[in-house]
Amino acid sequence: MIEGYIDIAGRPMVDIIAIGAEEEIPLSAIIDTGFNGDIYLPTRVAVRLGLKLNNTFPVEFADGSIKEELVFVGKVKWGNQVKTVDVLLTQSDDVLVGTGLLKDSELKIGFLSRRLVIQKEELK
């Protein structure tokens, strides 16, 4: 189970540790259910981590524009696991966690309680 919180701006947040060849960096990330990839990291963070370029693929943004994005390989401490993830870069300071990391989980967001819980879905 991963516990998060709702920040003062009303955004669902979770703390992660991004892991690269150069270092590990603790980060607070916004849960973005409109992003179906794994993680968006600020470019300055990706450079510090020493991430390696893996691929490119087209990304469609909310305004309908499509842009070819560079995809890097990284790792993230996600709960008690270390997962290999696809990392996209942003010029923003925001770290985004997308549904790629949530696909095998159940996400519960309580805006009134200001609590967020991510649980691994048990196979039945």
Structural domain range at position 49: 2-120
Tokens of residue 67, six digits: 């842009």
Q: What is the pTM of this model?
A: 0.86
CATH of the domain at 101: 2.40.70.10
Average pLDDT, the chain: 90
DSSP letter string, 14-75: EEEEEE-SS-EEEEEEEE-TT--SSEEEEHHHHHHHTPEEEEEEEEE-TTS-EEEEEEEEEE
Residue 123 pLDDT grade (very low, low, confident, very high; cuts 50, 70, 90):
very low
**Percent of the chain clearing pLDDT 70 (strictly above):** 97
Residue 122 confidence (pLDDT) above 80: no
Question: In the chain, how many domains are there?
Answer: 1
Handedness of CA 78, 82, 88, 92 (dihedral sign): positive
- First-to-last alpha carbon distance for the chain, in angstroms, is 18
pLDDT reported for residue 104: 86
Lowest-confidence region among 8-17, 56-65, 96-105: 56-65
